[in-house]
Amino acid sequence: SAVISQKPSRDICQRGTSLTIQCQVDSQVTMMFWYRQQPGQSLTLIATANQGSEATYESGFVIDKFPISRPNLTFSTLTVSNMSPEDSSIYLCSAGLAPDEQYFGPGTRLTVT
């Protein structure tokens, strides 16, 4: 197994500001993924982050709104830019450590006022 940590665990932000969420894995991994879980909803994949290349975004998500960095094989950040109340969600990162398993971080609960 692996340990994935996220910072911050929660935050309350004002609309129009930005928040950067950090994801740290205790093992080197090729791929990391960022998900959003809106209140009462399932997980929706935002983007896939591969070290050394641009993140690949899913339909409905754009880099200007959710810029992602992947500077090395154990770390990634997701920034939620120019926030609005609709961005209030739990943001989770995950990492593939084995061909058949992905592990999830504990999530960052974001509230935008």
Partner 1 sequence: AQSVTQPDIHITVSEGASLELRCNYSYGATPYLFWYVQSPGQGFQLLLKYFSGDTLVQGIKGFEAEFKRSQSSFNLRKPSVHWSDAAEYFCAVAPGYSSASKIIFGSGTRLSIRP
> Which of positions 64-103 make contact with partner 1 (CB under 8 A)?
92, 94-103
Q: Which of 45, 79, 81, 88 binds partner 1 (CB under 8 A)?
A: 45
Minimum Å gap between C-beta 44 and partner 1 is 8
Q: Using an 8 Å Cβ cutoff, are 24 and 74 in contact?
A: yes
Q: Which of 21, 91, 107, 110 binds partner 1 (CB under 8 A)?
A: 107
Closest CA to 47 of 27, 98, 36: 36
Q: Which DSSP helix (H) or strand (E) runs through 93?
A: strand 89-98
Closest CA to 25 of 45, 5, 7, 9: 5
Q: Which of 22, 24, 48, 88 binds partner 1 (CB under 8 A)?
A: 48
Which C-beta is closer to partner 1: that of 14 or that of 59?
A: 59
According to DSSP, the β-strands at 108-112 and 10-13 are parallel
Residues that bind partner 1 (CB under 8 A): 29-31, 33, 41-45, 48, 50, 92, 94-107
